[in-house]
Amino acid sequence: MIGMNFQSFLTLLILGFIAAVVLHSSFRYPTSQSVDGFFAKWIAGWIGGWLGSPVLGHWWFRIQNVYVIPALVGALVGVFALIYWRNTTAIVATVPKGVATVTTQPEMQRKAS
């Protein structure tokens, strides 16, 4: 799959596009609703589709060297992983600074006096 021809590349591009459209319209998170978020999902779908056949196996029918069903499942997994990663990092990034810190300095001062 590494040295693929142009038809295999286009097949993966179409499968990645399908996965990106389905999950872009299904999961409406504010961090990934822009045009660049859609293109990031499309790229993640292409990579997931490229890894789909070697990881999930070679079954059912194929177009050129791309097995369609494992590539589509891999594309969906790749896009979903990107959505999950972007939203968990967005949640962590929005936590205010002083929320997670615990100060024990006043207690130590009470014990000392």
Query: Is pLDDT above 70 for 89?
Result: no
Kindly state the tokens that stand for 32: 């990934």
List the domain boundaries for the chain.
11-90
Task: Tell me the C-alpha distance between 2 and 5, whole Å.
Answer: 9
Q: For position 92, what pLDDT does the model report?
A: 59
Task: Tell me the C-alpha distance between 105 and 83, whole Å.
Answer: 41
Q: For position 65, what pLDDT does the model report?
A: 83
Q: For position 48, what pLDDT does the model report?
A: 92
pTM to 2 decimal places: 0.70
Task: Tell me the C-alpha distance between 17 and 46, whole Å.
Answer: 8
Higher pLDDT, 93 or 60: 60
41-45, 46-50, 107-111: least confidently modelled range: 107-111
Q: pLDDT tens digits for 49-86?
A: 989 888 888 888 888 888 889 999 999 999 888 888 87
Maximum alpha-carbon separation in the chain: 80
Q: For position 70, what pLDDT does the model report?
A: 92
Query: Is pLDDT above 80 for 108?
Result: no
How many Cβ atoms from other residues are within 10 Å of residue 6's Cβ? Answer: 8
Task: Tell me the C-alpha distance between 86 and 44, whole Å.
Answer: 12
Query: Is pLDDT above 80 for 98?
Result: no
